[in-house]
Structure 1
Amino acid sequence: MKALRHIIQNLSVDTVSAGRKEVLQSLIDYIKEKKRRHQDIRLVFICTHNSRRSHLAQVWAQTMAFHFGIRNVFCYSGGTEVTAVFPKVVETIVNQGFELEKRSDTTNPVYAVKFDENEPPVLCFSKMFDDVFNPKNAFAAVMTCSSADEGCPFIAGAEKRFPIRYDDPKTFDGTELMETKYAERSVEIATEMYYVFSQVN
């Protein structure tokens, strides 16, 4: 997984603005407090269709927790509608060095995403945020898009709610910029998750 390690080593937290650091601070504080109390850290990344940003955030957050040696971190994702992981997201993470196995061949496939040879994979598929696969309590809801944040005023079981929004790369679907913009969004999310977990130790 040399390519993935190379990308992580070349991320620059200097690109995270002061304003974004302020947005991320409450999530950092939540993770720090959970770690201090030796409690499991459960993060559910939520976006309307659970097809793009929420999966990128889930995968990168789990990866960065491992990278910085922060144990007992469990990352999930969900939406307000069930669709499928968008194919360009799958292509993007493979291009960035993750190993991926398609576990089911349905309209809503399950993907196992490996970020390390010896760690269990992150399982990615589209689901409602309150799906049985996700935790029922003692978790933080991280809202990665404005429509899910505004459309879900209440997330049952969530201890905290953090609006950490990202622009939707879907805007560029079908254009010549599509591949570039998906890669950029993935790197942006990776960089911010790197910053978050780098502040926890």
Structure 2
Amino acid sequence: MHPDLTSYIQSLQNEASDITRERKSKLTKLADYIRTKKDSGQPARLTFICTHNSRRSHLCQIWSAVTADYLGLDQIETFSGGTEATAFNPRAVAAVERAGFNVENPGGKNPRYKVFFDEDKEPLICFSKTYDDSYNPRKNFAAVMTCTDADENCPVVPGAEIRFSIPYVDPKESDGTSREKQTYDQRCRQIAAEMYYLMSQV
């Protein structure tokens, strides 16, 4: 794993105390689902869903995959989607790069970013899509709602065998302000810390 990214993840280990009891309870229930799937010899597929699949859902997809890898957990597959497709927001991409990932941007209206975290492993592929896109699993997966709008507008996620609501405040609120970089870095770190906690409970 990239050294800067390793250092970033190691620094998350002391931040469990910053996670509220309510959020820990939600994350633990998701960890129980992952453990049950693994114990039965099945892959645990997690599809993180927000409205535009541009910020929070991608950050969750990335950090859940990488913290699982860091902790030596296998059979965990992570995906993301939205109620509509836009693009992986460049501000969120920049926050990921500042955390220690190497990101390759092929260009285009909705780039299929390659997010590298380890020289010896395949990159994560991140691009905006609807949650029911053919790139994502169609059945036997957990739908993890990362924003309240998507949670309210998707009362049913076809194919999902279970559903969890773990919403985050949209960093979009700071776009174009002097707080932009700080807000994106804070949301990136919050999600990283919670995904680390999640995987540490499996």
Structure 1: segments with no counterpart, 5+ residues: none
Q: Which residue of 2 aligns with 1:90?
A: 93
Contact 2:110/2:128 (CA < 8 Å) preserved in 1? Answer: yes
For the residues of structure 2 that align with 1:196 and 1:116, how far apart are their CA atoms? 21
- The share of aligned pairs that are identical, in percent, is 48
Question: Displacement, 1:33?
Answer: 0.4
- TM-score normalized by the length of structure 2: 0.96
1:47-84 Cα shifts (integer Å, max 9, x gaps)? 00000000000000000110111101110000011100
How far apart, in 1, do the equivalents of 2:44 and 2:122 lie?
A: 17
2:81 is the alignment partner of 1:78: yes
1:160 to 159, 162, 170: 162
1:145 aligned residue: 147
In 2, Cα distance between equivalents of 1:72 and 1:112: 21
Aligned-partner Cα distance in 1 for 2:119–2:16: 26
Structure 1 equivalent of residue 48 of structure 2: 45
> So what's the TM-score if we normalise by structure 1?
0.97
User: What is the aligned partner in structure 2 of residue 181 from structure 1?
Assistant: 183
How far does residue 163 in structure 1 lie from its aligned partner after superposition?
0.3
Q: Which runs of 5+ in 2 are unaligned?
A: none
Is 1:14 aligned with 2:17? yes
Equivalent in 17, 27, 30 of residue 27 of structure 1: 30
The aligned counterpart of 1:123 is 125
| One-letter identity of the residue aligned with 2:7 | H
1:118 CA displacement: 1.5
Cα RMSD for the two superposed structures: 0.8
Aligned residues: 199
Instruction: Give structure 1 regions of 4+ aligned residues with deviation exceeding 4 angstroms.
Output: none
